[in-house]
Structure 1
Amino acid sequence: MADKETDSSGFLRAQSLTSMAQREIERLVMEGHYSPGERINENALATRLGISRGPVREACRTLAAQGLVQLIPNRGVFIRVITEEDAKSVYEVRAGLFGYCGMLLAGRITRAQLDHLELLIEQMEVAANASDFDRYYPANLTFHDFLISASGNERLVRTYHDLVRQLHLFRTRGLVSGDGMKASNREHREIVAGLASRDAQRAFKAMHDHVIAGRDRAMGAIAHAGS
């Protein structure tokens, strides 16, 4: 009995360490400490976290399955490089999922939830008017995460978040201008209006089109920067 308890305890600890390593790698990627194409030094990361290399390796395998990193035999683990074509595909799948979320929510969203979304929109409006990306971006993430989580569909939530992580490798701060933030927030208002109307098709269109518009803004910014 004691051996089984010891084995169980060891397994849970290993799982916990792997989750910790995964969260840390995700944080480093999202905050820009790792760049696309950069190699992850597993030994250095393990030392920094005060753990063995095993959990870091397992975390990298999980993140590879999610599309955030790439495992190259005999070379190591690298932050995935997302091409424009890759990004377009991810945006299109994300648009479908986000639109479907709108259909689910149209018939069940509460007044309290709508009020919370409107509060986030007001916060983003202030930030957009000040061209303050550092204030706008967290509220923007919260707005989208709140909608997805409210769907109640755990598989949709996991898949959507995997797509968002991949797009973090493609988007940069420079792609978001003051005008882009304002345009995005106008789309946020239409999303809330669509949900408040209880019209599933309107909600689908507002949420689907918002992601596609975000794709077009990102691609347009890249084209402008390269001209």
Structure 2
Amino acid sequence: MAVATGSETGPDSGANRTSQAYYDLRGLILSGHYAPDSRLTESELTTRLQVSRGTVRSVLARLAQEGYVTAEANRSARTRSFCEDEAIEILETREVLEAALAARAAECATDEDIAALEATCKRLWSQRKSVTPEEYSRLNREFHEQVRAAARQATLTRFVDSLLYPLVLRQYRDMQRSRPRAVVIEEHKAILSAIVTHNPEAAASTMRHHLSAVRRALQLKFTTPSDG
């Protein structure tokens, strides 16, 4: 099934279709539709994205430049995979940057920002026993995005977005786990509490603790892959 449709007419349609195809394919990669180290071919992508081979090449070139894929000599590409050392470095860097963003959020968050964060935490809490992995991932991502938005620090946010940590999490997470770690929602609530009380030191500390726990949970899988 194709991801996007639309005619390629008008002076800006070529650029618009290339941009849409880029976002469509990046979204498929981030969502886990393509597993790590999956081969992406022009023929399959032209059908899926409903664009020309030239557009596919442009999209793959941009995604390769940004690190989502690795280009191959035969005009195909592979989705990125990460060795353990790369994965740990990315997640450690995320801890530092998102801790700084949480501190800024504690200083800058408006009543509207706080209300949005509280609503997300309430949804996570109310659904904690029945939430699907996909819905949990969406709400978790929403919470972190709301913290970044509340920080109003575009440079730090841009650096976080460039880390490709969602690909690392998808590669190394425990696919057999049907529920998130039991303490995750409590960790979110602790971050929220620090932001609500406008305590930047506590916000940074609780965010760092939360993301460090995420990283350690994945590292357990690195060293003992047979453990569930």
TM bucket (normalised to shorter chain) is 0.7 to 0.9
CA RMSD of aligned residues (A): 2.2
Task: Give the match for residue 94 of structure 2.
Answer: 94
- How far apart are the structure 2 equivalents of 1:176 and 1:196? 32
Task: Give the match for residue 212 of structure 2.
Answer: 212
The superposition leaves residues 97-125 of structure 1 with CA deviations (integer Å, 9 ceiling, x where unpaired) of: 10110121111112232222122112112
Query: Which has the higher mean CA deviation after the structures are superposed, 83-92 or 21-30?
Result: 21-30
Task: Determine if contact 1:40/1:76 at 8 Å carries over to the other structure.
Answer: yes
Structure having the larger proportion of residues in helix: 1
Q: Number of matched residues?
A: 217
The superposition leaves residues 129-155 of structure 1 with CA deviations (integer Å, 9 ceiling, x where unpaired) of: 236323322111111111112322333
Task: Give the match for residue 32 of structure 2.
Answer: 32
Task: Give the match for residue 174 of structure 1.
Answer: 175
Task: Give the match for residue 70 of structure 2.
Answer: 70
Task: Determine if contact 1:121/1:188 at 8 Å carries over to the other structure.
Answer: yes
Structure 2 portions without partners, runs of 5+: 1-9
Q: Does 1:85 align with 2:82?
A: no
Q: Percentage identity across aligned positions?
A: 24
Q: Which runs of 4+ in 1 moved over 6 A?
A: none
- How far apart are the structure 1 equivalents of 2:43 and 2:88? 34
Structure 1 portions without partners, runs of 5+: 1-8
Task: Give the match for residue 103 of structure 2.
Answer: 103
- State the AA in 1 paired with 2:26: E
Within 5 Å, give how 1:151-162 maps onto structure 2.
Answer: 151-162=151-162
Task: Determine if contact 1:175/1:222 at 8 Å carries over to the other structure.
Answer: no
Query: Which has the higher mean CA deviation after the structures are superposed, 217-226 or 73-82?
Result: 217-226
- Taking a change above 3 Å as real, the CA distance of residues 48 and 74 of structure 1, as seen in their structure-2 partners, is closer
- How far apart are the structure 1 equivalents of 2:166 and 2:132? 22
